[in-house]
Amino acid sequence: MQVFLRLLLLCSLCWGTIVSPLNAEEIPSGLMISTSRLIYTEGQPSVSFWLANRSTQPWVVTASVFKTDTHGEANREKSAQFLVTPPMALLAPGQRLPFRLVWIGSSVANNKTEGLERLRLNLVPGNDVQSQHNTLSISVSLWLKVFVRSMALNEVHGQMERPHFVASCHGESLTIENKEPFWQTVRSVKMGGKELIDEKAPAPMLAPFNKLTLPSATCNSSPVMGILNDNGLVISLPLDKDEAHD
């Protein structure tokens, strides 16, 4: 109860907030997070991460998991598969706070494709409780990807040397087909040295066995795609071209 009252007091000391949605790679200065993505494999009781505060102000953190649409974007429906603990907490200066996503869903043993959900961390900066000054604060919504795999899919992923994609040209567009049962985070696509992905925008998600179409003025060379691996690092892959559609 004392912690909850302290959270309310911290929030009440901010007379206004501006909400800014960010991906995990864009975490505010002074905060650190242990990962930009979480991978849950069938049979695990939970997956965990931590959030650390190296700033001089406390932060009120609330956490929720949401389902996603066919483009990998979060919708308004909360997850029925994960329970976040703690759902609300105070992150004090100098503190490192652990979080757990506890699995409460049904079996995914028969799932033929990888699942994707989104974890949202709402971060509201609070003034020190001894301060009497009201300030305008920026509230941040930090989003992390949560991938869900059956044991069979996890074995396939571990044995996969490289993901398989096929690229084809249709007029002034390039279509990339994902031949794998896994979601892909597309960070870069280059055609003839020209970048087709907006580096300032969130990286598009490519669903299992689905397609991504991008505008391209030329298709006279083999495209190269950069995707994020399980560790959040970019790996470059030359794409096979479907010459029949050029």
> Per-residue pLDDT for 69 more than 50?
yes
Question: Which of 128-132, 204-208, 233-237 has the highest average model confidence (pLDDT)?
Answer: 204-208
Would you give the DSSP letter of residue 126? -
Q: 55-90 burial string, b = 16+ CB within 10 Å, else e?
A: eebbbbbbbbbbbbeeebebeeeebebbebeeeebb
Q: 151: helix, coil or strand?
A: helix
Check pLDDT > 90 for residue 73.
Answer: yes
Of 154, 79, 56, nearest in space to 114 by CA? 154
Residue 228 CA to chain centroid, in angstroms? 11
Distance of CA 7 to the CA centre of its chain: 27
* Residue closest to 58 by CA, chosen among 30, 27, 90: 90
pLDDT band at 224 (very low <50, low <70, confident <90, very high): very high
What pLDDT score does 7 carry? 43
pLDDT score at 240 = 76
Q: Cα–Cα distance between 207 and 69 in angstroms, integer? A: 10
26 vs 175, more confident: 175
- Cβ distance 205 to 116 under 8 Å? yes
If 0-12 CB within 10 Å is exposed, 13-18 middle and 19+ buried, where does residue 240 land? middle
Compute the distance between CA of residue 108 and CA of residue 95 in angstroms, rounded to an integer.
Answer: 36
Amino acid at the residue 87? P
> Using DSSP, how many helices (H) and how many strands (E) does the chain show?
2, 20
pTM of the predicted model, to two decimals?
Answer: 0.85
Give me the percent of the chain exceeding a pLDDT of 70. 83
What whole-number distance in Å separates Cα of residue 181 and Cα of residue 179? Answer: 7
Q: How confident is the model at residue 68 (pLDDT cuts 50, 70, 90)?
A: very high
- Mark out the alpha helices in 32-141 (DSSP H runs): none
State the Cα–Cα distance between residues 198 and 47, nearest whole angstrom. 31
Query: Which residues are CB-contacts of 116 (< 8 A; sequence separation ≥ 6)?
Result: 68, 72, 145, 146, 147, 148, 183, 205, 207
